[in-house]
Amino acid sequence: MRCSVFTLALQAGLAIASPIDFPPAQLVARQVVDRPFNASLPNITIFATGGTIAGSASSSDQTTGYQAGALGVDLLLQAVPQLYNVSNPRGIQFANVGSSEVTPAMLVNLTQHIQRELDSPHCQGVVVTHGTDTLEETGFFLDLTVNSTKPVVMVGAMRPATAISADGPINLLEAVTLAASPAAAGRGAMVVLNDRIGSAYYTTKSNANMLDTFRAAEQGYLGFFLNIKPFFYFQPSLPVGKPMFDVSGAALDALPQVDVLYGHQGLDPALAKAAVAAGAKGLVLAGMGAGSWTKNGTAAIDEIVKESGTAVVYSRRSMDGSAGRSRGKGTYGSGTLNPQKTRIMLQLALEAGYDDEQLRALFEFEEE
C-alpha cells in the first residue's frame, strides 16, 4: 500500500495530538514548532485551527465520518518537510476543532493574533489551516478585519491526513509557498485548495465531498499552482465595495447575534420572531430566487423591523447573483454576498454601530 506523508509520520511513532478545545476565555495562541532559521527565507506563521486537514480516520479508505481536528500543528509541519525549503514556518496551535465549532469570539481573537503577527517586521505572511465547512466564513471575516498588504492564506483539505492521496500536505505546501511569495501581497485574504487560488471574499464551498469544492463561479479564480509555484491571472486588486472593520480593540464577545433563516415554500413566519426573541440583533434571509420571501413571512419581517429595530438583510439561497430586495428603513439587499458572508458583514457593521444609511451604503452600494 502507498502511504501519504502524513501516514508515514504517524507510523514513525509521532503522537496524534488530542483535540484542544479552547473556550473563549482561554483563547490563546501557543507556539509549538521551531526549526533552524534560514535568513534568506521569509518567515511564515501558520495558525492551526483544526478541520479535515488535521483529521484522522481509522483506515486509509475512510474519507467521511472521521474525526476532524485530531492532529496537532507540530505533526502537520513535520509531515511536509518541503515547507522548510520555501520558508521559516512557525506553527501556532490556535484551536483544534471541526470548523462548525468556530465561534464569533474565536474570529475576533484570530484577527487580533494575525494582526499582531503581520504588524511585526519579522513575519512576511500568515497561513490559517481550517476545516473546509466554514472556511469561507473565517476567510471572509479575516478579509474584512486584517489590515495588512501581507498575505493571509486560508487552507484546508477534503481528505483526512490518514487517507490515501490525502490532499492536506500539498495544499499546505502551496499555501505556505503562496504566503511566502512577493506576488501575493495586496490581494486580501485568499483560499488555497486543489491547486487553485481564490479570493476569500467571493469563494464558497460548492461541493460537500469533492476536492475541487472551492469556487467563485461568477468571479473566477485569482490564480493557480504549477509545480507548487503560484501564478496569478491578474495584477493585485480588491473586490469593489469591500469595507474594512477594526476589531483590534474589540472584546471577544463583541459581535452581536445574527441569524440566517432559510427561505422555502410554506415557510413559518414565526421563526423570525423566535430568533429575535432569542437575542438576534440582525437577520439574514436566504430568500428564494433573488431574495423573495413569502407574503406572510414578509409581513412578519416588517413588523419585527418596526417593533425591535432589528436589521434584516435579504440575501438569496440561489448559488449566485444579486439579491437587491430592500423594503425601506431597516431592510437591505445583500448584493452579491451569499447568506453566510452577509451574516458576517452584518455582525461587523452592527458592532461598528452602523446606522440605517450606513448599512444601506454598505450592502447596496452602486459603482459610480
Q: Residue 204, annotated ligand binder?
A: no
Of residues 67 and 87, the one with the C-beta less far from ligand SIN: 67
Q: Are 230 and 174 in contact (CB under 8 A)?
A: yes
Provide the pairing of β-strand 331-333 with 311-316: parallel
Q: Residue 132, annotated ligand binder?
A: yes
Supply the Cα-derived Rg of the chain in whole angstroms.
21
Please tell me whether residue 100 adopts helix, strand or coil conformation. helix
Stretch that binds ligand SIN, among 128-136, 176-184, 255-263, 329-337 (CB under 6 A): 128-136
Of residues 160 and 263, the one with the C-beta less far from ligand SIN: 160
Distance CA 333, CA 327 (A): 9
* Per-residue binder mask for ligand SIN (CB under 6 A), 139-178, x = binder: -----------------x-x--------------------
Ranges within 15-34 binding ligand SIN (CB under 6 A): none
133 binds ligand SIN (CB under 6 A): yes
Residue from the set 60, 63, 88, 99 that interacts with ligand SIN by CB under 6 A: 99
Size of the site for ligand SIN (CB under 6 A): 10
198 binds ligand SIN (CB under 6 A): no
DSSP secondary structure, 287-336, as one string? EBTTTB--HHHHHHHHHHHHHH--EEEEEESSSSS-B----STTEEE-BT
**Shortest Cβ distance from residue 132 to ligand SIN (Å)?**
3
68 binds ligand SIN (CB under 6 A): yes
Interior angle at CA 67, CA 63 and CA 71, nearest 5: 105
Residue from the set 7, 93, 109, 132 that interacts with ligand SIN by CB under 6 A: 132
Distance CA 104, CA 107 (A): 5
Distance CA 124, CA 151 (A): 8
347 binds ligand SIN (CB under 6 A): no
188 binds ligand SIN (CB under 6 A): no
**Shortest Cβ distance from residue 99 to ligand SIN (Å)?**
3
Residues serving a catalytic function are 52, 132
User: Whose CA is closest to 325, among 306, 302, 348, 355?
Assistant: 302
Tell me 346's DSSP state: H
Distance CA 196, CA 224 (A): 4
Q: Residue 133, annotated ligand binder?
A: yes
Which residue's C-beta sits nearest to ligand SIN?
Answer: 131
Binding residues for substrate: 99, 132-133
Binding residues: 99, 132-133
Site of interaction with ligand SIN (CB under 6 A): 51-52, 68, 98-99, 131-133, 156, 158
